[in-house]
Structure 1
Amino acid sequence: MGKRWQEKRKNEHYYKKAKKEGYRSRAAYKLKQLHEKYDLLAKDDVTVDLGAAPGGWLQVAREKVGREGFVLGIDLEPIEELDYENVKTIQADITEEGIEELILKNLPRRPKVILSDASPNISGVWEVDHARSVDLGRSALSLAQELFDHEGNILIKVFQGKFFEELKREARKDFDFLKASKPEASRKRSAEIYLIGKGFIRD
C-alpha cells in the first residue's frame, strides 16, 4: 500500500475522530499534539486564538485553561458561538491597525498564550501564499510584543519557504525557547509548520 493511501487514511482518521469527539475541525488534534509535546496552555490562562474559525482550537484551548481561564477567538469570518461563558469570539482583521486595543477590550486581563492557525487566502501562486503566511506570522509576533506582560507562550502556523528562517530568527529574539514542529495530525504533503515560542522576553 502506497504513501498516498496511508496519508488519505490518516486524514480520514482525524476527520472521523473530530466528528466522533465533537470537535469542529480535525485541526483540533494539531493543537492537542503540540500542547502535549510543548506544554503551551495551563489552567487559568487567558488565551488569544488568531484565525480561530471554525473553532476547533477554541474548544481545545477551553479544555486546557478550564473554567478560570479565558479564550478569545478572532477571525475574518464569523465564528459560531461556543456554549461557554469564558469563550468569546470577535470578527476582525488581525493585520489592521488598532487590533491590539480591540483585543484588550475583550479580555479580562493580559493574555499568557497567543495561538495562530491563521492562513492567507490561497492564490495558488506558492511564493505569494508563502510570503502572505509569513506576514501573518509577523502580525502574531507583533501582537505578542504588544499584549504580553511578561513570560507568555506563542504558537504560529506558517508555510515553509525562503522567508521561514528569517521569521524564526525574528521570533528567537522574543522568546527564551523556540522550536519548529509539525504535528502528526498535519498532512504529510502540507507545507505548514508551527513555530513554538515559550518564555516571552520583555525588553
Structure 2
Amino acid sequence: MKKNYRLLLAEDEPSLGLILKESIESRGFQVDHCEDGEKAWLSYQQKDYDLLILDVMMPKLDGFSLAKKVRNSDSYIPIIFLTAKSTTEDVIEGFEKGGNDYVKKPFSMEELIVRVKALLERKSNPIHQEWTPVGKYNFHPGKQLLKFEQEELYLTSKESEVLKELILHQNELTDRSLILEKLWGSADFFNARSMDVYISKLRKKLEKDPDLQILNIRGYGYKLVCG
C-alpha cells in the first residue's frame, strides 16, 4: 500500500471522533475530522481523499445522505459507515446509499483498521490490461478473453466491461445504477434489461467454477462472489 493516504472522518461525537482520529493517524494515515455532515461535504469538495468513514446519525446532513451526494461525483471512492443501527434493513440501506462496508457500534479499533486497509488495498490494485485471476478463471480485459485451464472464451466488449466492473468490486454489493450510468449512460428500464442479458451470458461462461457466482441482490444490484 502507498503511504500518506488521506481519510475523511465524519463523526458528531467529539470524544469518539478524537479517539478515532488519533488511533487511525497512529497507523500512518492522515485524517481530517468533521463533526457534522455539512462540514464533511465541504471538506470532501476541497480536498482529495482516498477513503471516507461516515457516521450515519449526524446533524445537518446524515451519513447516508452525504454518501449519496459523494456518489454523484465519485462512484469508486471507498465509504465505510459507522452506526449503532444494526438491523438488516439498515445494513441494506447503507449499501444502497453507496457504502462499501458497514461497521456496527461498538467496534474495536483493530476491526476498523483492518477494514480500512482492505478497501484501500483493493482500490490501489485496479484491473489493468493484464491477466487477472477470477476464481479458477483468468481474465484479460484488453483481449476480452476468459481462460479456463486450456479453454479460451471470447467476450463481447460489453460483457468484458461488465465483468471488469464486477471484479473491481468482487465480494461486495455493486450498485446496479452505477454500472448502468457508467457503461450505458443511463439507468433506464431498457438498459437495465440489456444488462440483465449480459449478466446471464457471463454466468453461463463462468459456470465451470462452481465457487464463482454472480448474485442478483434484488432492488440493489449484483455481487460477484469468489469462493
Scaled by the length of structure 2, the TM-score of the pair is 0.37
> Which of the pair has the greater relative contact order for Cα pairs under 8 Å at 6+ separation?
1
Query: Which structure has the greater CA radius of gyration?
Result: 2
Scaled by the length of structure 1, the TM-score of the pair is 0.40
